[in-house]
Amino acid sequence: MPTFVLIGHCGPDSYLLKGAIGRAVPGASIVFAEDDDSLRLRLAADSILLINRVLDDGFDTESGVELIERLAKAAPRPIMMLISNHDDAQQRALAVGAMPGFGKRAVNQPRTADLLRLASEAAASAPATTRNES
């Protein structure tokens, strides 16, 4: 079972995302990354990174899209989704290597559950090797 890593989300949003993941992928593991160091420890080829559009001080960038772009250059590339209601940010994230993401307003929509299941299937087919570099 893949691990979902919630990156840069506040408490209420994390709770919201945990519920959506639990409904879409029952039994999925969910962990948090509050900064670059904790993210590095949680990276694995079969992880699914749900990255907030705006990141806090613990990251070397405030932009979730920039983080996706940086991580997309890693081998193997992690599975990443941007969490944002902004269509322009979603398009930029797709262009730099993310899977289709969703906004918090769409968390309870059927399409979001489908996207989470697709990400889970992609993670399940990834080699299960842990990486600790970025």
Q: Percent helix, strand, coil in the chain (nearest 5)?
A: 45, 20, 35
Angle (nearest 5°) at CA 56 between 134 and 78: 30
What are the structural domains of the chain?
3-124 (3.40.50.2300)
One digit per residue, the tens of pLDDT, for the chain of length 134 reads 889 999 999 999 999 999 999 999 999 999 999 999 999 888 887 899 999 999 988 999 999 999 999 999 877 788 999 999 999 999 999 999 999 999 999 999 999 999 999 999 999 887 654 433 33
